[in-house]
Amino acid sequence: MQKNQKSQEYAEALAVQALGFVASDAELLPRFLAISGIEAHQIRRAAQEPGFLAGVLNFILAHEPTLLRFSQEAGIAPGEVGSALRALPLGNDDHERSA
């Protein structure tokens, strides 16, 4: 297995864990749904779409207290969330940069 594939698999697993973290929090879930524009019953289908898991990690990264709580619960350094984001499809914003 190549390093990039392992990194992406780890990133996907971390993003799924982050989604569970968000879904189990009565304050975070409504905010996530409002920002993402989806409804609760659409999460399972949306999770299969490219970029959704990157969106979950972006949501975690956008609010430092949430990032710190998730990192503590997951037993990881906060910087690992950003690294995981960059390993996911559509998690790297290089395509948005203009020359």
pLDDT of residue 94: 52
- Gyration radius of the chain's alpha carbons: 13
pLDDT of residue 97: 43
pLDDT of residue 24: 97
Residues 6 or more apart in contact with residue 62 via CB below 8 angstroms: none
Q: Distance between CA atoms of 33 and 73, rounded to whole angstroms?
A: 21
Q: How far apart are the first and last CA of the chain?
A: 35
Query: pTM for the full model?
Result: 0.86
SS3 state of residue 81: helix
User: pLDDT (tens digit, 0 to 9) for every residue of the chain, 99 residues total?
Assistant: 566 777 999 999 999 999 999 999 999 999 999 999 999 999 999 988 889 999 999 999 999 999 999 999 999 999 999 999 999 988 875 544 444
